[in-house]
Amino acid sequence: MKAIKLVSVAVAVLLVASCAKKKETVYYWGDYQSTLYSYYQHDKSPEQQIDSLNAIVEQAKAKNKPVPPGLHAQMGLLYVETSRPDLAFQQFNAEKTLFPESAPYMDFLMRNKVKK
């Protein structure tokens, strides 16, 4: 009798756990983390990484979710690396708009890129 109660409780717990809703994140991450990792591993060219990050931005728009903090800043740095400062500044400004707390760092990056 005890075994039947124990099995019944275990089945009930499993049913409740399987029905639990998956926790939603605020941001759409896509493969941002693996793209960033590949940047530091030199697995992809800057152009390929820019394409990957642009794809994440488009996927986020399709899902009506914001991109994670730092994505636009990373894209800006990649544009600087590929000698496209105008696009870099657009990305830095997008980062500042979406995440106002990043403004001092984005301003710092923009000031230093003007000097070069």
pLDDT tens for residues 72-97?
999 999 999 999 999 999 999 999 99
In-domain check, residue 106: yes
Q: Spell out the alpha helix ranges (H) of the chain.
A: 2-19, 32-41, 46-62, 71-81, 85-98, 103-115
First to last CA, the chain: 79
In-domain check, residue 67: yes
In-domain check, residue 63: yes
> In total, how many domains does the chain have?
1
Residue 39's pLDDT is 84
CATH code (residue 102) = 1.25.40
Please tell me the pTM assigned to this model: 0.77
Provide CB contacts within 8 A for 87, sequence distance 6+. Answer: 76, 79
In-domain check, residue 50: yes
Residue 24's pLDDT is 79
Question: If we measure between CA atoms, which residue out of 91, 87, 115 comes closest to residue 102?
Answer: 91
pLDDT tens, N- to C-terminus, the chain (116 residues): 665 655 455 555 555 656 656 677 899 999 999 888 888 898 889 999 999 999 999 999 999 999 999 999 999 999 999 999 999 999 999 999 999 999 999 999 999 875 55
Domain containing 92 equals: 27-115
Supply φ then ψ for residue 63, to 5 degrees: -90, 0
Residue 38's pLDDT is 85
Supply φ then ψ for residue 45, to 5 degrees: -75, 160
Token pair recorded at residue 58: 């488009």
In-domain check, residue 14: no
42-64 b/e with 16+ CB inside 10 Å = b?
Answer: eeeebeebbebbeebbeebeeee
